[in-house]
């Protein structure tokens, strides 16, 4: 089966290219009825308010919520993480509509504006155990959110220290009043059942391990609901493993 990528705005092409690199078909999703033809969905990074307005215009939110409730795997990156969160901190009253399902509180634009975007080496032991390769991952944070709090059923996959230059910002001071830990470090990747969320952009690197990790979530979900394991399962085996743990290919921005 194919994996859908919500394709209203943002880095959906980059996700489809990353899926192609590991031998998985990616499909652009813009209409509710298309969700019936895919095994899983990626909600990409982009401008979350614009994405939400377009999704609302196309009446996607009811279908997206139902897709999550059905137990289908969904991965939100950056703006997609905001979509999946049950609660968004710092949002204006009657702010953007959410899909929900992921028991966490996300602060949108926690790391600042577009010009404060950055890259950081992230420790990802759980993903490295599953997919091999180095214990670190090169995270690309573009006007990125951060996860301030998670529920008891949410597994934390990665955290990062807050850069010193941001600790004096009003955004972080505001969140620190409610979430004191957010001054020093924040969560940037989580998993809860069929849902995966990352505050950074794995699709903008040549390291395929997060996409492989998600495809294995898809495999697990299919195996739970189907007895046949030959024709309907996406294979994400050793042939997709990293050839060289030192990835030095350039990162590009959309």
Identify whether the C-beta of residue 2 lies closer than 8 Å to the C-beta of residue 14: no
pTM score, whole prediction: 0.86
Domain-located, residue 247: no
Domain-located, residue 231: yes
Q: Which pLDDT score, from 0 to 100, does residue 254 have?
A: 42
Ranges 71-85, 94-108, 231-245, most confident = 71-85
Report the CATH number that the domain containing residue 141 is assigned in CATH: 3.40.50.880
Where residue 36 falls among pLDDT bands split at 50, 70, 90? Answer: very high
Question: Number of structural domains, the chain?
Answer: 1
User: Which residues does 100 contact at the CB level (< 8 Å), separation at least 6?
Assistant: 65, 68, 84, 85, 86
Q: What's the pLDDT tens digit per position in 63-78?
A: 999 999 999 999 999 9
Active site residues: 78, 201, 203
Domain-located, residue 252: no
Q: What's the pLDDT tens digit per position in 140-155?
A: 999 999 999 999 999 9
Domain-located, residue 146: yes
Lowest mean pLDDT among 163-177, 208-222, 228-242: 228-242
Of 80, 89, 85, 115, residue with least CA distance to 171: 89
- Domain containing residue 33: 2-240
């Amino acid at each position: 089966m194919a994996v859908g990528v919500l394709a209203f705005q943002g880095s959906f092409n980059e996700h489809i290219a990353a899926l192609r690199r590991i031998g998985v078909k990616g499909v652009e999703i813009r209409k509710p009825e298309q969700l019936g033809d895919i095994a899983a969905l990626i909600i990409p990074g982009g401008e979350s308010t614009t994405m939400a307005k377009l999704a609302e215009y196309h009446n996607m939110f009811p279908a997206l919520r139902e897709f999550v409730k059905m137990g289908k795997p969904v991965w939100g990156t950056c703006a997609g993480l905001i979509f999946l969160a049950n609660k968004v901190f710092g949002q204006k009253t009657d702010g953007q509509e959410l899909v929900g399902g992921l028991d966490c509180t996300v602060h949108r634009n926690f790391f600042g504006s577009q010009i404060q975007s950055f890259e950081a080496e992230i420790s990802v032991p759980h993903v490295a155990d599953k997919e091999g390769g180095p214990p670190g991952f090169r995270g690309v944070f573009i006007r990125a959110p951060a996860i301030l709090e998670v529920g008891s059923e949410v597994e934390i996959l990665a955290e990062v220290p807050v850069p010193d230059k941001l600790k004096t910002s009003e955004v972080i001071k505001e969140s620190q009043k409610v979430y004191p830990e957010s001054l020093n470090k924040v969560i940037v990747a989580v998993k809860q059942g069929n849902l995966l969320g990352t505050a950074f952009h794995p699709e903008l690197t040549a390291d395929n391990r997060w996409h492989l990790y998600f495809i294995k979530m898809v495999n697990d979900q299919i195996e739970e609901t189907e007895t046949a394991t030959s024709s309907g399962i996406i294979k994400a085996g050793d042939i997709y493993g990293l050839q060289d743990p030192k990835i030095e290919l350039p990162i590009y921005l959309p």
